[in-house]
Amino acid sequence: MSESTQPDAGVSPQISIEDFQRVDIRVGRVLSAEPLAGARKPAYKLRIDFGPALGVRQSSAQITVHYSPEDLIGALVLAVVNFPPRRIAGFKSEVLTLGVADAQGDVTLIAPRSDVPLGARLF
């Protein structure tokens, strides 16, 4: 991937392991996905189950190029669960679902390669 197509291609300043550990990234399973009406860029409203300790949270995700709502149901995803909620097109997004941009800038989700417990933390 060339630098011109990859967002934030530069290397960020170093952080401590403690800084990284403050970001709480967990595994969840998508329960529902539907288009987010009114979003500036096409996006889905996701309901994601993070297991009994964290429960179900919702997220706005700009992942419409590579995924249909039907593809997402039951999928495992990784999300930051300790950012403050954000309002996006009137929708309260409670977690940041994680992905990376492809060569065209469209988002591909980050997910475990095998089944893991809901709520498992990335380390």
Kindly report, residue by residue over 40-52, the tens digit of the pLDDT: 999 999 999 999 9
- Does residue 120 belong to any structural domain of this protein? no
Please state, in angstroms and rounded to a whole number, the distance separating the CA atoms of residues 53 and 28: 12
Over residues 90-107, the pLDDT tens digits come to 999 999 999 999 999 999
- Does residue 117 belong to any structural domain of this protein? no
- Does residue 49 belong to any structural domain of this protein? yes
Q: How many domains does the chain fold into?
A: 1
- Does residue 114 belong to any structural domain of this protein? no
Helices (H), 6-122: 17-22, 69-72
Task: Look up the CATH number of the domain holding residue 22.
Answer: 2.40.50.140
- Does residue 86 belong to any structural domain of this protein? yes
Over residues 3-32, the pLDDT tens digits come to 444 556 689 999 999 999 999 999 999 999
pTM for the whole structure? 0.89
- Does residue 33 belong to any structural domain of this protein? yes
Q: Which domain holds residue 91?
A: 17-109
- Does residue 73 belong to any structural domain of this protein? yes
- Does residue 1 belong to any structural domain of this protein? no
CA atoms within 13 A on the CB side of 24: 11
Please state, in angstroms and rounded to a whole number, the distance separating the CA atoms of residues 84 and 73: 25
